[in-house]
Amino acid sequence: MKKVDSGAGGPSMAGGRKVDRVALLEKVAELGSITAAAKAVGISYKGAWEAIEALNNMSDAPLVERSVGGSGGGGTRLTPHGEQVLSLLRDLDTDFQGLLAAMGGGRGRFDRFYKYFQLMRRWNMKTSARNQFLGTVTKATRGAVNSEVILDIGGGDSLAAIITNTSLDNLGLAPGVEAYALIKAPWVIVTTDEGMKTSARNRLCGVVSRCVSGAVNGEVIIDLPGGKSVAAIITNDSIESLGLKEGVRACALIKASHIILAVSA
């Protein structure tokens, strides 16, 4: 269960189906293709990428990466960290029925189960926010009414959030505390001018990896240098005027007041 400073709910779904994220990782490792992996677990290509992006954002280090080149023109593969995580999950899934025995079987096995539960807890958070980042609070500055919280999300990136002092106290936010940053995709502003001065407190810059136009709006995915990604919903006119397409450098601008923080209860 999570405590949040503002409501956000909704199951982790892809194309109307709940995603078995462990099964998806298994198929990516086996098949080396997100298209084939999505088909194997019965979800859409877009739904598979949304699940992968969420896993990368909620992990200490990316689990999946795109590979470039080769005879097949590239594909998708697990990172070394992803392979370690998947190996751990395989082992613990086999051992799960022995949990009670393991409780008395030494600290080493107990720690392995605890790590498994931590992973499952992170992956099972349900929210309607398209962007979910796991990070660690590095600074919490209290003001007269509101507080500014700085969250290190890894890869050299950080996010600043403005929340009420009451939320700061209720969530127990302080340096060293693990927290989640939730950001709805329509709240993200996209620009291709990295030097632009704006009032937005947060700027995450990277390379567009996916750009899908809809009837009126489109979804833009920006891959960040540290392996995480941010999704934005903007108008088709904006996509065209900014020249957004795969491979173009772009920045996601996010107001500090548009970031919802959550912690594990």
Can you tell me the mean pLDDT for 44-62? Answer: 88
Is pLDDT at 60 greater than 90 in this prediction?
no
Across 105-109, 114-118, 260-264, the highest mean pLDDT is recorded for: 260-264
pLDDT category of residue 95 using cuts at 50, 70 and 90:
low
Q: Which two tokens stand for residue 166?
A: 């009451």
What integer best gives the mean pLDDT of the chain? 83
Can you tell me the mean pLDDT for 17-40? Answer: 86
Q: What is the pLDDT of residue 124?
A: 57
Q: What is the pLDDT of residue 129?
A: 82
Is pLDDT at 16 greater than 50 in this prediction?
no
Lowest mean pLDDT: which of 48-57, 84-93, 98-107, 236-245? Answer: 98-107
- Decide: 253 and 200 in contact? Cβ < 8 Å: yes
DSSP the chain: -EEESS------EETTEE--HHHHHHHHHHHS-HHHHHHHHT--HHHHHHHHHHHHHTSSS-SEEEEE-TTTTEEEEE-HHHHHHHHHHHHHHHHGGGHHHHHTS-HHHHHHHHHHHHHHHHHT---S-SEEEEEEEEEEEE-SSEEEEEEEEETTEEEEEEEEHHHHHHHT--TT-EEEEEE-GGG-EEES-TT---S-SEEEEEEEEEEEE-SSEEEEEEE-TTS-EEEEEEEHHHHHHHT--TT-EEEEEE-GGG-EEEEE-
Is pLDDT at 30 greater than 60 in this prediction?
yes
Is pLDDT at 234 greater than 80 in this prediction?
yes
Q: What is the pLDDT of residue 67?
A: 73
Q: What is the pLDDT of residue 21?
A: 79
**98, 81, 96, 85: which is closest to 22 by C-alpha?**
85
Is pLDDT at 7 greater than 50 in this prediction?
no
pTM: 0.73
Q: Is the pLDDT higher at 219 or at 20?
A: 219
Is pLDDT at 110 greater than 60 in this prediction?
no
Give the chain's domains with CATH numbers.
12-123 (1.10.10.10), 131-182+258-264 (2.40.50.100), 185-254 (2.40.50.100)
